[in-house]
Structures are given as C-alpha cells and as structure tokens.
Structure 1
Amino acid sequence: MDEIAPPPRLLMGPGPISVDPRVLRAMAAPLVGQFDPFMTATMNEVMDLYREVFDTDNEQTFLVDGTSRAGIEAALVSLIEPGDRVLVPVFGRFGHLLTEIAQRCGAEVHTIEVPWGEVFAPEAIEAAVREVRPKVLACVQGDTSTTMCQPLEDIGAICREHDVLFYCDATASLGGNEFRSDAWGLDIATAGLQKCLGGPSGSAPITISPKAADVINARRHVEAGIREASDEAVGRPIASNYFDLAMVMDYWGPRRLNHHTEATSMLYAARECARLLAAEGIDASVARHALHGRAMLEGVQGLGLSVFGDVTHKMHNVVAVEIPEKLGPAGGDAVRASLLDDFGIEIGTSFGPLHGKVWRIGTMGYNARKDAVLTTLAALEHALRTADVGVPAGGGVTAAQAVYSEARP
C-alpha cells in the first residue's frame, strides 16, 4: 500500500472546500501534551479569536472536538431536557436535522415550514413562539441545501421578549455573511471550519451566553466520582458525557478539569482559521465572500442558467443553479463528472425536493477568490457544451469579469 496521495481538486461545492495552505501548515506543527503551557496558552488564544469571529463577549467561547454536527449536538443535548418544548423553523435540510436531534433529546418538537428557496418573516416566527411557548428556538442561519440565509436580528428580540433560549447553527454562514452573536441576542451558536473559515472538517467553534451557560451548569453532575463534591447534580443529567458542555466548559476554563484529550492538530487548524480571518477583518471577509459570490451568481446567469430560490436572501457563499431541463438528473450528474474528471473541479448536488434539480456551487473560504470563480465558470461552459447545451461563448467569464471591473476602486 502506497503513501496516501489525493488527486488535486478545486472544491467548489457547498463544502468542504479547499483548505487554506496556511491552515495545512499549521496542522503539521509538532504536538505537545494536553496540559503543556503551550497547549493551554493556545487554547486561550483560540477562545479570544473566536470571540472576535462570533462578535461576542461570551466567556464560554471555545471548540467542540468533532465536525460541525458535533457542535450542534453538544448545544442541543446540553440545553434540552426530556419534555422541553423546542421550536424549529425549517426552510431546508438542516432544519430537519435540528428537529431530529431535538427529538432524540426527548423534546416536544414543534416545526414551522416555508417552501425551500424562501426564508421566514419575523412575524411568522413570533406567532409560532406565542403559540408554542418553547424553551428553545433552534434555527439555521445559512442552509446550504437551499442556499438561503435566514435573517436573525429580529428573532433574537422575539426570543428575549418571550424568555426563549435562541440557538443558531451558523456552520455554512459564519465568516462569509454578517453574524452578530451579542447584538442579535443569540444564546448559543455553533459552526464548523470547512466552509467560509477555510479549514478542514473536524472542529466545531461554539459560543455560549451567560444565560445559556447557567441553564447548562444547572444540570451538571459528577463524572465517575472524580469531580469536586461541589459539582453534585442539581438537575437532570445531560445524557452525553462527550457532549456535556458543563464538563467541556470546565476543561477549557481556568480549572482545566480533564474531560477528553484535545485534538491538538485540529486546535492548531482552528486557531489559524480564526487568526487569518481576524487579520483580514471580519467585515472584509464578508465583503470578499459577497464579491466573489456575486461574480459566480452573475457568471452562471451569463451562461443562460437559472438560479433557484429568493436571490435577495441567498448566502454570499453558495448558489443553487437549476440544471437545464434537457439534461435531466442523469445529465446533471454527467456534467459534474466532466468537471471532476477533466478539470479537477467539484461542485455539488442537493437533497430532498432539489435532488437532481440543481447544482450547488460554492465560493467560500480560501476559494472565495477571482481565479477560482473564473476557472470554474470556464470549465462549466465547456462541460455544458460537451453535453450539447447551448450557452453563450464566454458568457460566464465575461459576466463575472464585469462584476470584478465594477468593484475596482
């Protein structure tokens, strides 16, 4: 068996994306022990950096070791007790995921839905909050299955008025779209590295408000008799040990109580992702994603392709392109295969009602740059022509170039 040698790829799907080379270099740094002063200092740096990324003053801002779904599960299993009412606004696949996880926690889950390609008006969410009276409102900001970005600022005010804990999954949106944890009244937000943050999947940044931390700590319990006597249970124990955020907060906090062995290389990756984002400036990163996302949007339209959903509420970093009718699902897969085999470019399909109907093309993280956009559009044009789909010659690249020319100072 030979040394692993992945083929070169330009990952222009909805995530994961091509990792920034600087992040890969950080991951190759030597390991240290989990309580080495360098390790604990690095953990402190990570907490500071992600406070900036999430735009929060929350003390409890750290990493959950695992993919972005680990962060989601940690948040929900630590907040929700059996019988709690949870409200989930569903506008794509990942709202259904939040629903499933909440149900596994034993919650009484209520959902409201809009058609895929739309988002919720705050009035609809407030009406549901008044009717359901949930303990937790769990919402996705950017759902890559539909590419829609749910406005959050009014939802936080609604949750505060009705004393509802507000959880948000920002996996697909953080770093590439505006996100204001404190200003928008979020109680817990989680994300992943593999989208706009430009890293690999495997670490889940999380931020927890003091109010949510109090709820979680009220459920703390003794781990196998090891923790201090003052930590005796005062509420129903959290069902998971690994995802018990009360324990994880102790691990990242000043007491450094042992919980698990930190994923050191992923810690380095998460630090470098956040360091690069902070160096660029959060607002500048959002503007970069907006620019290259608009270039991709207008580029596919310049090829005569239609775009799915309410474009005014689309995430900056991914676009859903309707597969030409003459191709059908099989032809759509053939175009994707051509892009991968001939150009080393990966784009995505979608799920549920959109499966076989759209391609999802991402411009995020390290790939939110001009050459990646223009290369993808040129390759897509060639693949479409090979599939006998008539498209304007140079239409995609020309439309994208116009966006870049307009953006020049």
Structure 2
Amino acid sequence: MSESFTPASPLLRPFSPPPRLLMGPGPITVDPRVLRAMSVQLVGQYDPAMTACMNETMALYRGVFSTANQWTFLVDGTSRAGIEAVLVSMLEPGDKVLVPVFGRFGHLLTEIAQRCGAQVHTIEKEWGEVFTPDEIEDAIKKFKPKVLAVVQGDTSTTMLQPLESLGEICQRHDVLFYSDATASIGGNEFLTDKWQLDAVSVGLQKCLCGPSGSAPVTLSDKAVATIKKRKHIEAGIRTDQHQAGQGQIIRSNYFDLGMIMDYWGEERLNHHTEATTMLYGARECARILLEEGKEQVITRHQQHGDAMAKGLSAMDLTLFGDQAHKMTNVVGVYIPQGVDGEAIRQSMLLDFGIEIGTSFGPLHGKIWRIGTMGYNARKDAVLQTLVALESVLTRAGHKLQANAGADTALNFYGQL
C-alpha cells in the first residue's frame, strides 16, 4: 500500500534525533566545529575555492598521517570504502596477502582481499591479544605475500597491534605494508613514514571527531607505482596514455585509486563529483587535530581513557584483554554474571541518553565496549557515563561501593 502524504503526515516533519552522548566504540558525538563546517554552501567541483580546499585537505592529512606522501587524499565513502579502494587497487587476482587477525576487522580485510581474487593467508590470535613482530615475520617468510594487511586498532577487541617494527620487516622481504587505522588514528601514535607504511586508510568517526562518510588515505611512492601499473579505463573519456598500464584492469571504477589520483592531482580529470560537504568536514577534522597538536590529542585520549578504565575497575567490573596493548580510546569490560547486558545498554540509552557498545563474534554478550574518543574524550563525558552506569547496575542488582567509579576517576584527574 502506498503512503498517503498529507500535510499532517509524520513523514513530512523534519527529522529531529534525540540528544545522545555516544560513548560506544564509534561513531561518536561529532565536534560542533565540524558540524558548522559541514553546514556551509557548496561551490562547483572545479571552482578555484574548491580545488584549493582539496589541496589544503591533502596537506592537512599529511600532518595527521605523519607523512610526506604526495598522494594523501580522500575516498568518498565510509572507512570501509577506503579499505576496499586500497586493496582493490593494489591487488590483482592471484596475489598473495597476509592478514594477522586479532578481531572482527581482520576478518573484514580478509573478506575484501578474497573478493579481489587474492590468495589470503591468515594467522590468528585469541581475541584480547596481539601479535609479536616475530610471529608476523615468520608468517611472511612462510607465505611470501605481496601485501601485509593489518588493522592497527580493532574496536571489536579494544586491542592495539604494535606496528613500529613491521615496516622494516616488510622492506627486507619486499612486501607492501598496509594498515587500516580507522579506530586508532588521532588517539594513538601513528607514524606512517617512520614505520615505513606503504598504504593507510582511516575514517573520521572515531578519534578524528567527525561523521562517517569520508575515508582519508595515504600512499607511498611504492604503492603508487604498484597501482599505476594497473590499467585504468573509463569508457570514452581517457586517452590512451591512461590505458597503458601493464597489469590487469582494476575491477572497480569507483574505487580505482589511479583514477581518483588523477582527479585529486593537477590533471583534475573527472572521476566523480566530490562529496563537498564531507570534504569540508574532513578538512575541519584534520584542522582541529593539528591545531590542538597531535601529541596533546594522544595525551588527552590516554588520560580520559585511563580515567574511564580506573572508574570501571572501581565499580567491581573486570577489564577485558591485554591492558598493555589496549587502545587509549576504548575499553572493554566484562558484563557481570547475572546481569542482562542488553537491558543495561537500553537503560543507559533510554533513561540517560548515553550509548555504550556491545561486541561481536566470540565476545558478543560477554563484554561492553565504552569509548572515550574524539569530542567525547573529556572529563564531563567520562563522569556522566560512570555515574549513569553505576545507577543502572545498582538497580540491576550488581554490588558495588556507592560513587566508586566517579570518585576514582575524579581522584585520578586530581593527580594529573
């Protein structure tokens, strides 16, 4: 039956979401400065103001990624679009890929690489642990991949995989080194050039304090050369020189990074109409981070993440995973026995307007994931969350000392 659109129809009212404090693993509450940046009017995609904005955004994200890479730009789409663009552009059918899996998003890299026709070899860790460099190097020696694809921070487990030794290993074995750092960049150290990464993709909706919908990427000269060996064909538009690659054609038009580089580069060859509003937002996310200072932002995430973790522990809750390798910006905590985890989350959301996360796979129904990231890596957000969670847990029968969580966090803040 078709909908009847009368003037009084609820569907014709503007959408007005309820106020929420997003304290899960992402997305997070967007910084108001980003929302303001996204509210300004569009200009044409080849307007000098537009191309200047694109160039400025590239320069700003070189700062975010800690890289001198020329090819640092945006893929229009969520963080998954960035992952797919990198992998479909670098991998040809039959190429070998090594994926260390320590959570849900390692499985995602595996699936996308398989869809590219790659031969994928995985090594796996129990969720809550990370890999040593020796374990990854042993797998590289055994499998001899073209690409090592690894997640830095996996929000499904809250773990942070150390990357600093892997670039040198990849260099010695002539392996391209790619990382998805969507959940970790901004709140945790990430040094693209120093760690010798060839490709990185991220999203805005975690520590970068923006909305999902734009995927910043950066590519080394080696990665660019690999991509440009592929054939890039857009029917009837491109000249022969853009079809002269030696490798197989990239299977995606939209995610063909060779063509997207032509669009972001001096040629300005049309590939798509840039998502202008997301460009404005992405630029502002990078500007805010660099204005505050990368080290200061990491310290802020570390301090508020520690305050949250200490407060949760004081509420007789057990933290999940290897705490020596936990991301600064999200903590996993076991759901107490006898407590309905989903009922707690519902009460937090509907009674207090605060969202915390559940988890996936082997951790589904076993832990909550509570984030302190981006705009919400601040004292008042931490204290509000701890006070609300204590109230809900107490009503559910969980025994804890009154005010333990907030008092512990306040004491911690007092020592900073």
Bin of the TM-score, shorter chain as denominator length: over 0.9
Partner of 2:334: 322
Whole-Å separation in 2 of the counterparts to 1:403 and 1:94: 33
> Is the 1:119–1:150 Cα contact (8 Å) retained in structure 2?
yes
Specify which of 150, 157, 171 is matched with residue 168 of structure 2: 157
Partner of 2:73: 62
Q: Kindly state the Cα deviation for residue 226 of structure 1 after the two structures are TM-superposed.
A: 1.1
Q: Kindly state the Cα deviation for residue 230 of structure 1 after the two structures are TM-superposed.
A: 1.4
Partner of 1:82: 93
Normalised by the length of structure 1, the TM-score is 0.98
3-state SS of 1:25 partner: helix
Whole-Å separation in 2 of the counterparts to 1:143 and 1:133: 25
Q: Kindly state the Cα deviation for residue 233 of structure 1 after the two structures are TM-superposed.
A: 3.2
| Deviations, residues 158-208 of structure 1 (Å, cap 9, x unaligned) | 101100000000000010000000000100000000000000000000000
> Is the 1:222–1:233 Cα contact (8 Å) retained in structure 2?
no
Matched to 1:281, the amino acid is G
Partner of 1:185: 196
Identity %: 66
> Is the 1:31–1:264 Cα contact (8 Å) retained in structure 2?
yes
Whole-Å separation in 2 of the counterparts to 1:232 and 1:146: 43
Whole-Å separation in 2 of the counterparts to 1:233 and 1:221: 8
Whole-Å separation in 2 of the counterparts to 1:321 and 1:233: 54
Q: Kindly state the Cα deviation for residue 222 of structure 1 after the two structures are TM-superposed.
A: 2.7
Aligned residues: 404
Partner of 1:50: 61
Whole-Å separation in 2 of the counterparts to 1:27 and 1:231: 34
Q: Kindly state the Cα deviation for residue 221 of structure 1 after the two structures are TM-superposed.
A: 2.3
| Deviations, residues 84-103 of structure 1 (Å, cap 9, x unaligned) | 00000000000000000000
Normalised by the length of structure 2, the TM-score is 0.96
The list of structure 1 runs, each at least 4 consecutive aligned residues, that deviate by more than 2 angstroms after superposition, is none
| Deviations, residues 101-121 of structure 1 (Å, cap 9, x unaligned) | 000000000000110000000
Q: Kindly state the Cα deviation for residue 137 of structure 1 after the two structures are TM-superposed.
A: 0.4
Q: Does 2:19 correspond to 1:8?
A: yes
> Is the 1:166–1:188 Cα contact (8 Å) retained in structure 2?
yes
Q: Does 2:408 correspond to 1:399?
A: yes
3-state SS of 1:138 partner: strand
> Is the 1:220–1:247 Cα contact (8 Å) retained in structure 2?
no
Matched to 1:253, the amino acid is G
Whole-Å separation in 1 of the counterparts to 2:269 and 2:236: 13
Whole-Å separation in 1 of the counterparts to 2:233 and 2:161: 39
Specify which of 182, 191, 204 is matched with residue 171 of structure 1: 182
- Runs of at least 5 residues in structure 2 that lack an aligned partner in the other structure: 1-11
| Deviations, residues 123-158 of structure 1 (Å, cap 9, x unaligned) | 000000000000000000000000000000111111
Q: Does 2:283 correspond to 1:271?
A: yes
Whole-Å separation in 2 of the counterparts to 1:52 and 1:316: 20
Specify which of 377, 382, 387 is matched with residue 378 of structure 1: 387
Q: Does 2:302 correspond to 1:290?
A: yes
Whole-Å separation in 2 of the counterparts to 1:403 and 1:103: 46
Whole-Å separation in 1 of the counterparts to 2:39 and 2:236: 37
Whole-Å separation in 2 of the counterparts to 1:63 and 1:383: 41
Specify which of 259, 272, 275 is matched with residue 247 of structure 1: 259
Q: Kindly state the Cα deviation for residue 352 of structure 1 after the two structures are TM-superposed.
A: 0.3
| Deviations, residues 8-46 of structure 1 (Å, cap 9, x unaligned) | 000000000000000000000000010010100000000
Matched to 1:166, the amino acid is F
**RMSD of aligned residue pairs (Cα, Å):** 0.6
Whole-Å separation in 2 of the counterparts to 1:25 and 1:356: 37
Whole-Å separation in 1 of the counterparts to 2:281 and 2:184: 19
> Is the 2:202–2:215 Cα contact (8 Å) retained in structure 1?
yes
Matches within 5 A, 1:320-399: 320-327=332-339, 331-399=340-408
